[in-house]
Amino acid sequence: MFISSAFAQTAPAAAAGGDMQSSLMSMLPLVLMFVVLYFVMIRPQMKKQKEHRAMIEALAKGDEIVTAGGLLGKVNKLGDSYLTIEVANGVEMQVQRSAVVQVLPKGTIK
């Protein structure tokens, strides 16, 4: 009495190109997120690494540097992967080239 008969209706047939277009539109947000991620995070990081590599390769004897550990020193000897810095009169330390964070202007360390 209270239950009425329900009849299923068939969905209208979609055009062949409409299905392909809807799948591309559903992937559009994912592609846009990757593009934004590339320009906001990946590209600046690669640029920073390139600048750091160029700075390390340009190190020369007599440069005043800061290491990742916070040591300030003057470069005395250069090797392929290590360099020797003088942190005080007569006190020399050997550090990795990659530990150099910044090259200071001449005369900063006294």
High-pLDDT (> 90) share of the chain, %: 68
Given a cut of 90, is residue 43 above it in pLDDT? yes
Q: Do 65 and 52 contact (CB within 8 A), yes or no? A: no
Tell me, which fold does domain 60-110 have in CATH?
SH3 type barrels. (2.30.30)
Quick: pLDDT tens for 70-92. Answer: 999 999 999 999 999 999 999 99
Q: Compute CA distances 91 → 32, 74, 86, whole Å.
A: 54, 11, 6
Query: pTM for the full model?
Result: 0.67
Does residue 21 register a pLDDT over 90? no
Determine if residue 3 is left, alpha or beta; phi over 0 gives left, psi from -120 to 50 gives alpha, anything else beta: beta
Cβ pair 92, 76 in contact under 8 A: yes
Contacts 24+ apart (CB under 8 A), 21-25: none
Percentage of residues in the chain with pLDDT exceeding 70?
Answer: 87
Amino acid (1-letter code) at residue 58: A
